[in-house]
Amino acid sequence: MNLEQLLSYIPEQKRAYIHGEVECVNDEWIFFDEEHEEAALLEEMTEGEIEIFRHERWLHGYLQENGIVHLGGSILSLHNGDIVRFRKLLPYAYRQWLEGLPEKTFFCFVEWLNSLHFSLYDCLYCYNGLLFAKQLGVNFIIFDNTELIANVQHYYERSNISKDRFEMTLHTGNRFICTQIG
């Protein structure tokens, strides 16, 4: 199963979206990130999928040229001041790491991560040794949920049986362990 299919089986993750406002400046749509108070070209912020908040709900569509959004069977034009959101892009190594986890381990990891108040979208950095075809090693993932910073060490073995052990250390010094073997 690919990552999008796996994500469809878990609850919506906190902090999965980047929210902001759009404005047309010099015939280009600018996105103003409300969290980081930064501005960027809208087309550079998303891979096409976008949601617009209209009529008290989020409308899912695909960004086209000139501020046009394709909403399945209809078309919508962006307006100055529209509130939009799009899913955060996951770092490449992290995305590959998530896709490489056995399904049972993936779901166990997500449940464990969420129970400690972190989201899959809180990843700041990932070292993925599996990208180098190493059968035995440790991966390092750093998460930040705006209140806590965590370092996850993923000890893995990929031979006849997959073995995975996760250790999390918070910046407060608290430590947690999760083991998934086979």
Long-range CB contacts for residues 88-93, cutoff 8 Å, separation at least 24:
88/15, 88/16, 88/17, 88/18, 88/121, 89/47, 90/120, 90/121, 90/123, 91/123, 91/125, 91/126, 93/126, 93/127, 93/128, 93/131
Q: Summarize the confidence of residues 75-82 as an average pLDDT.
A: 94
Residue 95 clears pLDDT 60, i.e. is over it = yes
Higher pLDDT, residue 124 or 35: 124
Domain boundaries, the chain: 17-87, 92-181
Q: Summarize the confidence of residues 50-63 as an average pLDDT.
A: 93
Distance CA 118, CA 141 (A): 12
Return the pLDDT at 181. 59
> In the structure, what pLDDT confidence band is assigned to residue 161 with cuts at 50, 70 and 90?
confident
Higher pLDDT, residue 116 or 7: 116
Residue 182 clears pLDDT 60, i.e. is over it = no
Return the pLDDT at 154. 95
The whole-chain average pLDDT of the chain stands at: 91
CA end-to-end span of the chain: 18
Share of the chain above pLDDT 90, in %: 64
Return the pLDDT at 127. 96
What are the pLDDT digits (tens) for 103-152?
899 999 999 999 999 999 999 999 999 898 778 999 999 999 999 999 99
Residue 97 clears pLDDT 70, i.e. is over it = yes
DSSP string, 128-182: -GGGGT-SEEEEEEEEE-SS-EEEEEEEEEESSSEEEEEEEEETTS-EEEEEEE-
> In the structure, what pLDDT confidence band is assigned to residue 66 with cuts at 50, 70 and 90?
confident
What pTM value is reported for the model?
0.83
Return the pLDDT at 172. 96
Residue 132 phi/psi, 5-degree rounding, is -100, 20
Residue 41 clears pLDDT 80, i.e. is over it = yes
Return the pLDDT at 37. 83
